[in-house]
Amino acid sequence: MDLTGKIALVTGGGRRVGRAIVGELGRAGMHVIVHCHASRAEAEAVAAGLPHATVAQADLRDRAQCRALIEGVRRDAGRLDLLVNNAAGYRRAPFADEDESAWDDLLALNLVAPALLTRHALPLGLSSVVNVLDVGAWQPWRHHAAYASSKAGLAQLTRNLALELAPSVRVNGVAPGTVAFPPDFTAAERAAITGRIPLGRIGDPADVARAVRFLAGEDFLTGVILPVDGGAQLR
């Protein structure tokens, strides 16, 4: 499918994986709306590097701001073809020590916001959604109960909406393994994670971006969750 001239909204598009997705879709000829929360300057810089890109800001833990973000897209672009739910919170903490509010924050941002953004975008002619999950949606890891549960919920949301919104909206997902380490991971932790990946290295945000573009462009795919993980989910 030719993506040229279509409108995409990428949440969390200012940095790391989201930034790579914005670039990939922009190079495919899409008009990209780069959503950000705290990284406004980074989002402006990404948008400035593309021929057709604009920036929109929202705290997606807040339901009213989810609605306002899509309302802004309607006002400025008039329609939305592709929604990429990339923004997410990440937490690593022992279950017994986890702050109760972390559950609210992670579920609001990682699961409820993608559902609300999809719902609000339906009247704008939405035809494709790509959710960014994590192999942790299936693989249990110590100290990731809230984060992994939010991604498991997003996996099930992806498949439910693929069924319910067909044939007008295709809903797919990408499940990355490690493609960019959280900055606080030690060298020893990085080496241990890399050592468990069958292909022997971590991926790159560009690997995820190409998978998003593939799912956005293939019009007979829906309900697919594509691992992009160097084989990590095989262990």
Ligand X SMILES: NC(=O)c1ccc[n+]([C@@H]2O[C@H](COP(=O)([O-])OP(=O)(O)OC[C@H]3O[C@@H](n4cnc5c(N)ncnc54)[C@H](OP(=O)(O)O)[C@@H]3O)[C@@H](O)[C@H]2O)c1
114, 176, 227, 230: residue in contact with ligand X (rule CB under 6 A): 176
Binding status of residue 204 toward ligand X by CB under 6 A: no
Binding status of residue 67 toward ligand X by CB under 6 A: no
7, 9, 10, 15: residue in contact with ligand X (rule CB under 6 A): 15
CA distance 18 to 56: 14
18, 26, 153, 227: residue in contact with ligand X (rule CB under 6 A): 18
Q: How far is the CB of 2 from ligand X (least distance, A)?
A: 26
Q: How far is the CB of 79 from ligand X (least distance, A)?
A: 22
1, 38, 41, 192: residue in contact with ligand X (rule CB under 6 A): 38
Which string of x and - marks every residue 101-130 that binds ligand X (by CB under 6 A)?
--------x---------------------
In the residue annotation, 90 being an active-site residue is answered as no
Q: 35, 147, 161, 212: which one is catalytic?
A: 147
Q: Cβ-count burial of 171 within 10 angstroms (0-12 exposed, 13-18 middle, 19+ buried)?
A: buried
Catalytic residues: 147
List contacts with ligand X (CB under 6 A): 12, 14-18, 36-39, 59-61, 86-90, 109, 132, 134, 176, 178-180
